[in-house]
Structure 1
Amino acid sequence: EAITAFERVLALQPDNLPVRTELARAYAQLGDPAAAKRELDLVTTNPATPANVKHNLSSYASVLEESLRGGPRTFHTTITAGTGYDTNINTATASSYLVVPALSALGPARIEDGTRAQSSGFTQLTATGTVRQPLSPATALFASLSADAKTPFETSDYAHTTLTAEAGTQFFRPEGDIFTLGASAQQFWFGGDDYSTTYALNGSWHNPLSASTSLTPYLSVSHINYETGLPDAHRIILGSSLTHRLPTSMPTTLIAGLYGGHEESEGTAADHLSHNIYGGQFGIEIFPTDNLALFTEARLEHRAYSAPYPLFFTERSDTQLDLSTGLTYALTKGLSLRPSISYRHASSNVGFFNYSRWLTQLNLRYTL
C-alpha cells in the first residue's frame, strides 16, 4: 500500500525527491533491490539533490548493487602446518622375498632393503587461497590455488609437492540446488623431480532432499601426463555422496558415498596398467561442543586391471582399505588443532603391491 501511495504522488510530482527516496526504501524492505536501486539512481542523478545526500545515497546504492550481484567478492585463505610419523613413507611391501611366476624355477626373488617399506617422521605444509565473485544471486565465479609439500625427516627421495589451480562457476536455485562446473590443473613432484601433470574437468550437483539430507552426484574427467616414462592416461570417475544430519542432542553428520570409473593408459603395451575402479566410503562427524568435532571415516576401493601383469600371467586385482579417526579443536577464531591417525591396508594378487601403513599426524590450521 505504501508503494502504491508513493507512486501516485510521483505520478503528479516526479521531482519529489523525499518521496522517491521513501519509495526506494519500501522496495528494499519488500525484497526488490533492483527497483530500489533504480529509484535511488534517479535521486542521486537529479541536479537538485544536495551533495551530502548524494554521497549517503550512493553508499546505499552500492550495497543494493552488491545484493543484485549476489553479495560482495570474498577471499578465503587456509594454512595448515603439521608433523607426523609414517610407517611406510614409500608405500612399498614389507616382504623380503617374492615369488614371480615366470621365474618360479629360480625360487623366491629377494627384495632389496632399499625398496621395502621404510618408516619416517615428516613435516607437511598446505596453503589454499580461494576467491569467489558473485555475478547475480543465481551465479558466481570462483578460483583457487593450493600447494602441499610433505618432507620426510630421513630422506628426500620420497618428498612430494603438489600445486593445484582450479576455476569454475556455480549456479544456484531458490530451492537450494547448487550446480558447480570447474576445470583444474595439477602438477606433482616426487623426490624433487617432475612426476605428473593432471588436467581435469569437474562437475557436481548439490541437491537438498530435505532440511537435513542432501545428495551430491559428481563427475570428473581427467588426463594424466607422466614425466617418468609411464604412459599417459585418461580417467573418468562418476559418483555420489549422501549427507544426513541426525536430530540428536549432539549435532551429528553422517556421510556415505559410492563411486566408480575407469583409467585407460595410452598404447596397447600398457593394457596391464588400465583398470576399472569401484569404491565406497562412510564417515561420521560429531560435535560434542561448539569448538570440538570428532570424526571417523572408512573407505574401500577395488581396482581390476585389464591385462595380465608382466611375469605374473594374471590380471592384477587390488583392494585398498583406509580407516581414519581424529578430532578438530578450535583454539581461537580461525585457529584449530587437528590430531589424527589413519591406517591403510592394500592387498593384491601381484605381491609388489601388498602393503600396509600407519600414519599419525598433528596439524595446526589457520583460516583467514
Structure 2
Amino acid sequence: MQAGSGLRFVAIALFWIAAAAFAQDATLERARKLLDAKQAKEAYALLAPLEQQRAGEVEFDFLLGVAAIDSGELTRGVFALERVLAVRPDHPRARAEIARAYFLMGENKTARQEFESVKRARPPTEVAATIDKFLDALEARERARGTGVAGFVEATAGYDTNASAGTSSSGFAFPLNPGFVGNAAKDADYFVTLAGGVSGRYAMSDTVALIGNAVVEQRGNASSSQFDTGSFTAAGGIAFTRDADEFTVAAQGQNFYVDTNRFRDAAGLVGQWRRTLSQNDQVSAYLQRTRLSYPGQSARDANRTVAGGAWAHSYAAVRAAASFLGVYAGQEETRGPNVLDYSHDLWGVRLGGQIGIGEKWTLLANASYENRRYGGPFAGFVQSRRDKELKLSVSAGYAVDRNWTITPAIAYTDNRSNTPITDYERTMFSLSLRHDFR
C-alpha cells in the first residue's frame, strides 16, 4: 500500500513537472510567433515577468533580449543577450542582436566590434547583407559627427519622352501676336548621364566641424545634342552640434550649362537647423537666399529666397523603412526694373519614403507639388502666368555589395501652365550604376 502510494506520488510529481516544462515551452513558442508577427511589445510583456524565474536559459534570454530591443528597452535587452553570450559565446544571432542594440544606443565603437565579429564567422548571405547595412549606417553616423571623406561615381542610361521639356502641343498661338509658331513640340530621345561627387567633414572639436561637398554631372542626348546639359555644384560651411540639435551655415554655388554654353549661375547662402526628437524622428528647418544670373539674358537675373521645414521618420520594425514630409514657400524676384514675367511667388510640398524588400532591394517613392504665381504675363500673352508642377518618381535600388548599387527608375513631371509654351509633360525611364567610396 505504501509502495503504491509512493509510486502515485512520483507519477503525479512527474506529471506536474512535465506540464510545467510544456507550459514553459508553449510560452517560448508564443513569444516566437509574436516576434515573427512584429508584435515585439506583446512578446516582451509575455516574457518580462518570467525573467527572475528563467534567467540563464539560453533560448528564453535570447527571445527576451530581442523582444526588449524591439520594444525600446535597450538596456534590458543587452543584459539578457549578455547572459546568452556568457553561456554560448559562439551564438551568432545573439551577437548580431546585441550589436544592433549597441547601434541603437549610439555605442558606435562597440556596435562595430560586434558586427564585425559576426561577419568574420561567415554568416548566411542574407545576414551578411543586413550587417553591411548597419556598418554603412555606422559610417554615415560617424561621418556626420567626425572627420571623413566620401565620394561616388554614377553612370545612367535612359529614355526621355521630352528631352527639350517643350510643350505637349505641336504648335501654339500668341494671342497678342497673330500667327502660328511651330518647332516647340516635345522631343523624345535616349540619353546617358555621368556624375561624380565628393563630400567631407573635418571635426574641429566635439561640437564644431567644417563641411563641404562638390558634384559634377553631364548629360548627353543621342539625337538632340542642343539640349545636352551639364552642371557643377559646390558648397562649404560650418556645422555646430549641441545635444540633439545641429546648426549649419553654408555657402553654395552652381554653374549650369546647356549645349556646353553657360545658361545659369547661382550663388548663395543657406542656414539649417535639425533636431533629433527620438530614435525614429527628426525635424528640420531652413532658410536659403540665392542670387541667380543668366549670361546673355540679364532680364532673367533674380534673387530667390526660400524657407521651409521637414519631418522624417524611420520605422524600426521594418528594414530600411523611412518616410519624410516637407513644406516650403518663397519668392523669386528679378533684379531688373519692370520685368514681372519672371518674378514669382512659390510654395510647395514634398513627401516620400523607402522600404527594404528582402536583403538586397530598397524601394523608393517620391512626390512633390509646386505652385508658382508670376507677377505678369509671359512675353506675348495676356494672362499672368500660373504654373502647377507635379513630380512623381519610383526607383528600386539593388545592392550588389556595400559599394555597388544598380537602380532602375521612372520619373514623371507634369507642369500645368496657362501659358502654352511652359505647359508640358515628361517621363524618364533610366537605369543607373553607382559606386560609393567610403
TM-score interval, normalised by the smaller of the two chains: 0.7 to 0.9
**2:141 matched to 1:73?**
no
For 2:289 and 2:413, the matched residues in 1 are separated by: 26
> Which residue among 424, 427, 430 is the counterpart of 1:355?
424
Corresponding position of 1:148: 217
AA aligned opposite 2:154: T
Aligned alpha-carbon RMSD (Å)? 1.8
1:228 deviates by 2.8
Contact kept, 8 Å, 1:257 with 1:282, in 2: the verdict is yes
**2:266 matched to 1:198?**
yes
Corresponding position of 2:377: 308
AA aligned opposite 2:182: E
1:252 deviates by 1.8
AA aligned opposite 2:181: I
Corresponding position of 2:236: 167
Corresponding position of 2:247: 179
> Which residue among 314, 325, 328 is the counterpart of 1:256?
325
In the TM superposition, 1:316-335 aligns within 5 A as: 316-335=385-404
Corresponding position of 1:237: 306
1:101 deviates by 2.3
Seen in structure 2, the aligned counterparts of structure 1 residues 308 and 367 have a Cα distance that, compared at 3 Å, is same
Contact kept, 8 Å, 2:320 with 2:362, in 1: the verdict is no
Moved more, 245-254 or 324-333: 245-254
**2:410 matched to 1:341?**
yes
Corresponding position of 1:112: 182
TM-score by length of 1: 0.76
For 1:194 and 1:110, the matched residues in 2 are separated by: 30
Corresponding position of 1:102: 176
AA aligned opposite 1:367: D
Identity %: 26
> Which residue among 248, 256, 270 is the counterpart of 2:339?
270
Query: Relative contact order (alpha carbons < 8 A, sep ≥ 6): 1 or 2 greater?
Result: 1
1:71 deviates by 7.5
Contact kept, 8 Å, 2:377 with 2:383, in 1: the verdict is yes
In structure 2, stretches of 5+ residues that fail to align are: 1-143
4+ runs of 1 displaced by more than 3 Å?
70-73, 247-251
Corresponding position of 1:87: 161
Corresponding position of 2:19: none
Contact kept, 8 Å, 2:363 with 2:396, in 1: the verdict is yes
TM-score by length of 2: 0.65
Contact kept, 8 Å, 2:172 with 2:182, in 1: the verdict is no
* Superimposed CA distance per residue, residues 244-271 of structure 1 (whole angstroms, 9 cap, x where no aligned partner): 1234444421111101100001222311
* Superimposed CA distance per residue, residues 287-339 of structure 1 (whole angstroms, 9 cap, x where no aligned partner): 12343210111111110001233332221000000010011111012111111
Corresponding position of 2:195: 126
1:166 deviates by 1.1
> Which residue among 268, 275, 279 is the counterpart of 1:207?
275
For 2:171 and 2:377, the matched residues in 1 are separated by: 21
For 1:257 and 1:348, the matched residues in 2 are separated by: 23
Corresponding position of 2:361: 292
Structure with greater helix share of residues: 2
Seen in structure 2, the aligned counterparts of structure 1 residues 326 and 71 have a Cα distance that, compared at 3 Å, is closer
1:367 deviates by 0.7
Contact kept, 8 Å, 1:96 with 1:110, in 2: the verdict is no
AA aligned opposite 1:87: T
Structure with greater strand share of residues: 1
For 1:133 and 1:290, the matched residues in 2 are separated by: 33
In structure 1, stretches of 5+ residues that fail to align are: 1-69
For 2:416 and 2:342, the matched residues in 1 are separated by: 17
AA aligned opposite 1:322: K
**2:300 matched to 1:226?**
no
